[in-house]
Each structure stands twice: as C-alpha cells, then as structure tokens.
Chain A
C-alpha cells in the first residue's frame, strides 16, 4: 500500500471520507488482473505446446495415411521410403527401437537397482555424498558424446569378444543407452526406498533380521511400485534416444533380432530424413510425422503409465 493511500485512509478515520484510496484500489485491482492474466498466459503456453505437438503430428500424418494405408504402415516389414520401390512398413524401425531398449533395460535395470540398494541401504554417508553426484554427471553427458564413445571405444572393445560384430550394431547402442538411463533408475528407486517409513525397518531389525534381509525382504518389496515405475520411465527414455543410437547403430532399417547388425530406430529415421534435402509436402517429409506420431504415442503411453505407478506407491503411505 502506498504511503499516500495510508495517510488518506487514516484521515478518513477522523470523520472525513477517504478519497484517494478507493480510486487507488480500482486501478490496483485492474493492474493485478492484468498481471494475473499474463502469468496465466505463460502457464497456458504449455497447453499450446501439447496442442501444437498433437496437431502437427496428426495433421501431417493424416496426409501421409491418405497415401499409405495404416495397415501397411503398422504391419509391413519393409521400410524403404528413400529408395525405389518405396515401402512403408514401420516394423523394422519399431523393432529396432525395441531391440535397443531391451538391451538398454538389461543393463540399466540390474545396475541401476543395485546402485539404488547400495546407496540407500548400505553406503556410509560419506561415500554416498560422492557417488550420487557422479551418477548425476553420468546422466548429464549428452547423447552425441555417448554415441562417440560407443563408436570409438565400446564397439572396438567388443569386436574381439563378439564374432561377427559389425561397426554399426544394436548391441553397442543398447549398452550405451543403458548407461545413459541407469542414473534415472538409480535415483528414482532410491527415492522410493527412502520413502519407506523408518518404523518398518525398525520392526524388521527387532525381529532379528540382518541389514541384507531388511533391504531385500522389507524395503525393496515395500518400494516396489516406485521401483517398477522407474523401470518404465527409463525404458520410455531409451525409446526416445536419438543421437547415441544414430552414431552407434547406424541407419539401416533391418527387421532382425541379431544385435550384431546395424539397425535403425524410429528416432534415427526421423533424423536421417532431416539430414537430407526433403521437399516439404513430399511423402518422405510426411513420413517423419507418421513415425513421430507413433513414437510420441508409445512414449506418452509409457510415461503416463509409469507416473500412475509412481503415484500409487506414494499413496500407500498417505
């Protein structure tokens, strides 16, 4: 409240009607309303973003699906939009994404969960204070750097061990993406375990359990929803990974389960088209949006599911 308004208001107490304060109040309210509106507009930008994403993806996909049937897209096993004859079966891309994610999960889940259990139940305080930031740094390294690492270190390392390993292969890509999402599982699982009430641990100790038994038979089962949620969110992130996979696995659509071969994921295809000169409105251009829509739907579905799971464990201790 301005000083002037205060003086005016107190003058009113003596008997004279306060004059300035009323007018001041009206313009103040107007100003407040404008500010509130502006702030709301900022919040609404996020809605615009989502609407924009969905609109863009659906609009161009509709154009795409006027030229390619949905059935051929979702069930076809050959993907050659940039060659003649053109085929638009997305399964090789989908399988590529799934393959990389499974390998990534096979690495990230045991290592991430093991780290979480160690940090939450076993690590002395001082050690935890150093290990946690290191894991956070691991998560902050950009995807291109991991791609470089896969190409120049991981693949050469594995080549003598895995006969027939090509220069671009799904295995190295999966390994590197696994390392990338490991910190996500570790930190979310650790949060879930920390949320387990102290009373449960005390009860278990009082029954004559060792620290290992408390960790594996009480804490981990109690935190299970949060732990599983972290798995789902990590796999979703793995599916959305791009540059590491582009560099490590190459860009060859390949309907295969052989991880030694080069494959292409949904994300890598989108990048591949953008690297070239694709005219707007061509079917190749539109294919970006169809593939993008599939990617968006899959990751959104997993994220929503994962977060619902996460909410469930928080409610158990409400």
Chain B
C-alpha cells in the first residue's frame, strides 16, 4: 500500500469543497455588512445634511415659511405631550393585561383567544390603528377627546403599542421563577398579594425595558397621527390634552416633502433630534436590561 493512500491531508476534492465554503462565507458576510454599511451611510447622510442647522433657535422657534427662522418647538412639545400621555395610558393597561394572562387566566379557550388576538394585533399595520383612532376617538368620542387632539393621538398610539408592551411584560413575568410564587403562597398570601409584592417587583426591570422599547417605537410613528388629524403646520404648543398638536415625525415629513433644499436641511436636523431621542431611549432600555439581568 502506497503511503499516499493513507494520508490525512485534504485531497483535491476536499480542497475544492473548502474553497467553495470560503466563498459562501464571504458572501454571507457581505450580506450582513450591507445592512451595517447602509446604517452608517444613512446616519452620515442625515448628519451631514442637518448638523449645521441645529442651532439654539431651532429648538425654540415654531415652524415657519422662512427656513432660516423655522424650529421644532411645537413638534417637540407635542411629542413630549404625546409620549407622556401614551405612557400613562398604555403602561398600566399593558401590565395589567400581562398579569392577567400570566397569573390569573386559566389555560382555556379564552386565554388562547386573547393571546392569539394580541399576537395578531402586533402585526396590524400602524395606519389601520390610525383609521380606528379617526373613527372612534376623533369622531365618535369627540365630546370626551375634543376631536383632533393630543389625547386622541395618545389613545390611538397606546392601542398601537399595547400588544408589544403586553408581550414584553409577559416574558418578564414568565421569567420570574415559580419557586418565588410558591414560597409566597406557602405563607398564605393571596394571588394579588403574591403578584404585587413578589412577581411584579422582580419582573419590573424587564417590564420597564419592554415599555421603553415600545415607547421608542411610538415616537417614530407618523401615519396614524396624520390620520387622527395631528396638523402638519401649527405655531403653538398644547396647553392641555384636548388641544391640537403636531409631533416631530410629522414635522420631518412636512419639511422633507417640500422641494426647496433648505427644508431638506431642516428635515435632516429634525431627524437628528428624533434619532438622538430614540437612541437614548434604547440605550436606557439596554442599560436597564444589563443592570438587572439576573441568572435565576
């Protein structure tokens, strides 16, 4: 038997196979890098277009027909109002629903229906929520909401983020080990006492993370708010929940859709503000998640 027969070095076919594998690996890496490069290019494009327009007056002025004097004051206030109201509405509702699904509901058809329904709602296009908001909050409930107001917008956006919030909260609640609940029940506590004093506090970091991420989705929403009548050009800030309003994302759309180059720059500057807000919220959520991540 010749020594070559037993050699364990790669025969030519194997060398060819390995080379094919290398090519494929580089192709997949390129695919991944396309996403990365696109993000970098996008951020660079926005920064280059907009950073020089970020002046102090940009934050303190209302939108104007004259680009040099335009600012995002109304949009920024509107965004803050909207986010605040939305958090106030969706957080208790979402956590309560998650608690019911995880702790109270018996495994039966009702729980399945509600669970599936929430999963379906998470995939409904946001503009459909806008249609719902238009018909229900702006028209039907006009005596309560005042029509095209911040509260209508907040209610609409709350419904939109509720499924995401509920699902994230459910995961956080589920992650609390059963042994903690058993210990509490063993001492004679009621279900609500167990939830309130043991389950929720332990799940809270995860719930907060999910809430922040849901809010960061809400802050970028545009179409549903256009639908419920958030105006594209207002020169005042909301004084109360029933006032009219606009938000940052609509302001961006407004400026971006104008042909003049200056408005494009304004749009870019507003995008920078929006992205900074977004990134801060995401960073906060990640920090929260890392800080409170426990190995059960």
Contacts and interface: CB of A to CB of B under 8 A. Distances in A.
Interface of A: 1, 28, 31-32, 35-36, 38-40, 42-47, 49-50, 52-53, 56-57, 60, 110-115, 117-119, 122-123, 131, 134-135, 137-138, 140-149, 151-153, 179, 182-183, 186, 210-213, 216, 233, 236-237, 239-243, 246-247, 267, 270-271, 274-275, 280, 288-289, 292, 295-296, 299-300, 303-304, 307
Contacts of B217: 140
Contacts of A241: 125
A227 to B, nearest CB: 14
Name which of B38, B119, B217 has the most chain A CB atoms within 10 A of its CB.
B38
B253 A242 contact: no
Given A114-B28, A145-B274, A43 B105 contact: yes
A171 B166 CA distance: 36
B49 interface: yes
Interface string B131-167: 1101110010000000000000000000100110010
Given A1-B188, A47-B114, A115-B31, A296 B256 contact: no
Contacts of A153: 41-42, 45
A289 B253 CA distance: 23
A292 B217 CA distance: 22
17 contacts: A39-B100, A40-B105, A42-B93, A42-B97, A43-B97, A43-B114, A52-B136, A53-B131, A123-B32, A134-B36, A145-B220, A153-B45, A186-B32, A210-B14, A236-B123, A288-B134, A299-B123
B117 interface: yes
B24 interface: yes
Contacts of A60: 135
A115 B216 CA distance: 25
Contact of B190 (A28, A270, A292): A28
Contact of A118 (B29, B45, B159): B29
Contacts of A119: 32
Contacts of A149: 42, 45-46
Contacts of B287: none
Contacts of A134: 35-36, 39
B59 to A, nearest CB: 19
Contacts of B192: 31-32, 35-36
